[in-house]
Amino acid sequence: MHPTRILPLVGACNFRDFGGYAAADGRCVRWRRLFRSGVMTRLQPESIDEFRKMDIRAVCDLRRTDERQRNPNPGFGPGVRQFEWDTSVETSPIRRPEFARSATIEEARAAMVGMYERIPYVLQPRLAGTFAALVQVEQGGFVVHCSAGKDRTGVAVALVLEALGVPRESVVADYVLTNDAVDLAAQWLGAGSTGIGLAETSEPIMALPPVARSAVLDAHESYIVASLEAIEARNGSVEDYLRDELGVGTQLLEALRARLLE
């Protein structure tokens, strides 16, 4: 029996294991080594205990500085290294005008596709840092997360799985699983016990028209495919992108595969 992929930690948002996928060389990504998540501010004490039992050693926080200040991570203990980046001048990409003027779901999804085409390059320092952190964590588990655990995390996870030789079909399926793993509308738009309860002044999603908000909260397969195809169009292949943009060459790839595949 395979381990549970979607982990029901109390207070978690989209927390799940992205191990277990078959790689092209016949090996399989190890379970309970690679995790992805949304915001972890609301993790309850019993969930943090579970977190420690999973022997997680590193947390890569892909959020902007202002997001981390509003919803800081809980203390995970001295054994967990936290990686984060100063993005004080960065603003949310959904503040771009194409989101606000979206009148149909097609227009809103086109805006999301454009955003995903840019993510591998706009987030290059954080994505490079994620791989650098992953290389450093030789034992124990590793978590990469953002706010919803879907967009920035989705691209980072897709790149890790591609680096490990997981077929594109499985990479896309892991991304789309967000739609079953979490009700993002409840998590982000609810208040009190049902969610974080965002204010328009702090999160631009609250100011979007409903059709655009729906597209932003969706994990549509066209989004993650857009990132990977943009990489292939610009760099030739994901492996070339990893080497040329993120500094992850053949030797590092082989070391990651040796450690994370079985």
Q: Number of folded domains in the chain? A: 1
Q: Is the dihedral of CA 186, 192, 193, 197 positive or negative?
A: positive
List, edge to edge, every strand of the sheet that includes 81-83.
16-17, 34-37, 141-145, 56-61, 81-83
pLDDT tens-digit profile, the chain (262 residues)? 577 899 989 999 999 999 999 999 999 999 999 999 999 999 999 999 998 899 999 999 999 998 899 899 998 888 899 999 998 878 888 888 888 788 898 999 999 999 999 999 999 999 999 999 999 888 899 999 999 999 999 999 999 999 999 999 999 999 999 999 998 887 766 544 334 434 344 466 767 778 888 889 999 999 999 999 999 999 999 999 999 999 999 999 999 999 999 9
- Asked if residues 107 and 227 have their Cβ atoms less than 8 Å apart, the reply is no
The residues, ordered by sequence, that sit 6+ positions from 135 with a Cβ below 8 Å of its Cβ are 252, 255, 256
Q: Kindly state whether residue 41 falls inside one of the protein's structural domains.
A: yes
SS3 202: coil
**Domain range spanning residue 223?**
16-257
**Pairwise CA distance, residues 61 & 84, whole Å:** 5
What is the distance, to the nearest Å, from the Cα of residue 261 to the centroid of all Cα atoms in its chain? 20
CATH code of the domain containing 184: 3.90.190.10
Q: Kindly state whether residue 125 falls inside one of the protein's structural domains.
A: yes
Q: Kindly state whether residue 8 falls inside one of the protein's structural domains.
A: no
pLDDT at 101: 82
Whether the model pTM is above 0.85:
yes
Q: What is the pLDDT of residues 245-260, one digit of tens each?
A: 999 999 999 999 999 9
